[in-house]
Amino acid sequence: MPATALDSLIFRDIFGTEEMRRVFCDETRTGFYLQIEAALARVQARLGIIPAEAAHEIEQQCRVENIDFAKLKAQTERIGYPILGIVQQIVALCADGLGEWCHWGATTQDITDTATVMQIRDALVLIERDMEAISASLAALARRYRDTPMAGRSNLQQAVPITFGFKAASLLAAMQRHRARLAELRPRVLVGEFAGAAGTLSSLGADGLKVQAALMVELGLGQPEIAWHTVRDRIGEVGCFLALVTGTLGKLSMDVKLLMQTEVAEVFEPFHKGRGSSSTMPQKRNPVSSLYIHANAALVRQNAAALLEAAVADHERSTGPWEIEWIALPEIFLLSAGALAQSRGMVAGLQIDADRMRANLDLTNGQISSEAVMMGLAPHLGRQRAHDLVYDKCREAARSERPLLDLLAEDGEIARHASRSELAKLLDPANYVGLAGEMVDRVLAIEEARYRSDR
C-alpha cells in the first residue's frame, strides 16, 4: 500500500515523474545488478579466469524475468543486502554447477555501487533533458521581453527598474552554469566500483586491475583509480548538484508566486480551467506548480545533507552510513525530476502582463526612478547633497501623493540644473534599466553558441 507522496497513486506524478521512478524501481536496479554480474563473467572468461561455458551459462541466466522477487525480498530481509540473494538465485538456475563461478572476486558493495552509478547515469539524462527545455523557454522569455520594463524589488519593496527579460536571463544564466556543472561532474561521478572485500582486489591477484578495466569498458563507466567503498564524494557531489539545480528552480517559483499576488499581478502560471481554484473562494487563481517546486527543492536540500552525512564512513567498509544513500539518493532524483517537470510546464506557458508591469512602475508617482535623478544632479550638487534633496522630495511625494516630477521641478535649487523635460526623461523607468539589455544579449549569445555546438 503506497504511503508516501512519492509512491502515492494520487500524488506521485505531482512530486515526481514516472520516468524517474522507472530508473530507481526494483526491476531496473535488479536488472543493473544482473547486467554487472553477466559482464563480470564475460570479461573474466575472456581473460581466462573462469571457464567460458560458465560465463555463457551465467549470462543466460542473468535476466530480470528469472528473478523471484518475493524470494529476493525474503533473502534480503534475512541477509541484509540483496546481492547475495540474487547470486544465490543465479547459481541455482545455472546448469552443471557452472553458477559457482558467478560473482567471482566481487563483493556486495562492488555490485551495489556500480548499479547505483548506472542509475545515476540514466537519471542524469532525464535531468539534462528537462534542464535544456527550461533553458529554451527562459531564452525565449529573455528574448521577447528584453526591453520590457518592470520594477526591480529589494526587501520586497520597489527598488529600481529592470526588464522582465533581465529577470528571465538571470535564471537562464544559472541554468547554463548548472549544465556546465553537469558536463564537468559526469567524468567524476560515472565511475564504477570493483575492488573486492577491502578494496585491494586481493581475491583476483595480479589479474584484478585487468578485470576491473575490462568490466568498466563493458559497462561504459570510468575505471576508478582506487577503491571508493567508503569515500563517498562521488555520490555526495551529484546530490549537491541537484540541490543547486532545484535551488534555482525554487527561486524561480518564489518569484512567480510573488508576481502572481493580486496586488502585483504581473506574471501568472499557465491557465487551465479549474487549476488553482479554491474550494470556497470562486475568484481565486492560486499558484500551483510554484508550490510543489518550492516543497521539492526544500526536500532535495535536506536529502543532500543526508548524503553528506553518509560520507562520514568508517574504515574500508562502513556500518550504516552507506545505507543512508539507499534512501536519500532515489528521493533526491525523484524530487528533482518533479521540480523540473513542474518548472518545465510552468515556464513554457508563463503568462506575462507587460501593461501591469508598467502600471506598477507608476504606482509611486516617479519615485522608483529617484536614483536616476540623484545621479543626474550629483555632478552639479555633489552626490550627498543630491541624495538628501531627492530623498526629501520623495518623502514629500509619499505624504502628499503628488507626482515626484512636480515637486522636483518646483524646487529652485534643482531647477537651476535640470529643466522639467530633463527631469521627466530621468524619471521615465524605461530610461533607467541600465545595461539590462546588453546583459540579456550576453546570456543569449552563450545559449546560441551552445545550441550551435550541440548541432
**Which tens digits make up the pLDDT trace of 99-127?**
999 999 999 999 999 999 999 999 999 99
pLDDT for residue 155 = 96
- Nearby residues of 350 by Cβ (< 8 Å), 6 or more positions away: 137, 141, 256, 267, 268, 269, 270
Task: Give the pLDDT confidence score for residue 111 in this predicted structure.
Answer: 98
Give the chain's residues under pLDDT 70. 276-278
Q: Which of 317, 358, 385, 450 is catalytic?
A: 317
Predicted structure pTM score: 0.94
Domains and CATH numbers, the chain: 12-358 (1.20.200.10), 364-431 (1.10.40.30)
- CA–CA dist 388, 382 (Å, integer): 10
Residues in CB range of 226: below 8 A, 6 or more apart = 199
Q: What are phi and psi of 449, to 5 degrees?
A: -65, -40
Helix 208-219 to helix 26-46 angle (10° resolution) is 130
What integer pLDDT is reported at residue 452 of this predicted model? Answer: 81
Identify the pLDDT of residue 149.
97
Concerning whether 277 is annotated as a catalytic residue, the answer is no
Q: Which residue in the list 278, 383, 395, 420 is annotated as catalytic? A: 278
Q: Where do the H-state alpha helices sit in 145-222?
A: 164-189, 208-219
Does 278 qualify as catalytic in the annotation? Answer: yes
Q: What is the DSSP letter of 267?
A: E
